[in-house]
Amino acid sequence: MLVYVPQVSAVAPAITLDGVAIGSTFGEDHTASAILTTANAHDVIVVIAQCGIFQNCASCCPSPSFVDNVTSIVDAGGHTWTRRAAYMPPNGRPIWEYYAVSDSPLSSDRINVTWSGSNVFVGFVALGVSGANTQHPWDPSRKLPAEAALFSGCAVPRTCTIDFSAVGAEDFVIVSTAINDNKSCQGISPFQNLASAISGQAETDYLITRIGGSNRVSFTCSDSSPVTVLGDALQGPGRN
């Protein structure tokens, strides 16, 4: 008697967006909060923090106004937050990137980000990514994070482009843009807008790379006033 046994192959779960939240404040306590809910366990949670609404963090009231750094990130779930990037160019606004790994889905998890200094315009975007590699979340390319700022990759005053080296298949590519008191980035396709904080002046966009084919990625923010751009990529579970 012949018995048919179907072949079963393990397929890595697709990497997907699993929740987004926005936190902004215009008060003098320098702490912004957001509540993030996700549907899946074992997500990588990313927080992208910015300050200011003009060319730099010190360009608006109160005077003198400045931001030195992100001093703390805490959440109700008690996760451990690790800094991935702190891009603080001499010309342009800083962008900070932090991440944590959640063992279970987040249910109305309050995330608080605190800055030093005296700038009242601070904010962040928090997102959950399902299917990312929780042991080694970030694409190991030596070209990442990719960075550009005024007078260093960004054309004054309306356009900024960053090119990534070849990133892996099914990477979750994140691009954060600091905008100088203008509308959101135009012409970002194939990227999709994820969210914007601080009255639209702290934009985050994303793209999931294809399986197969070229995965060289280019992002352009045009017809706006980008002053700083930070690009990075989370990798899928099957890579080290």
pLDDT block averages, 10 residues each, the chain of length 240: 40 81 81 96 97 69 62 96 92 91 98 82 93 94 87 74 79 93 89 90 91 76 89 83
Residue 156 domain flag: yes
Q: In the prediction, which pLDDT does 159 show?
A: 85
Q: In the prediction, which pLDDT does 67 show?
A: 64
Q: In the prediction, which pLDDT does 143 show?
A: 86
Residue 222 domain flag: yes
Q: In the prediction, which pLDDT does 19 show?
A: 98
Residue 5 domain flag: no
Q: In the prediction, which pLDDT does 128 show?
A: 98
Residue 240 domain flag: no
CA distance 122 to 68: 12
Residue 89 domain flag: yes
Which residues 6+ apart lie within 8 Å of 182 measured at CB? 201, 224, 225
Count: domains in the chain: 1
Residue 239 domain flag: no
CA-based nearest residue to 50, from 207, 224, 200: 200
Residue 3 domain flag: no
Q: In the prediction, which pLDDT does 154 show?
A: 74
Q: In the prediction, which pLDDT does 82 show?
A: 98
Q: List the domain range (segments joined by +) for residue 175.
A: 16-234
Q: In the prediction, which pLDDT does 200 show?
A: 84
In angstroms, how far is the first alpha carbon of the chain from the final one?
44
Residue 196 domain flag: yes
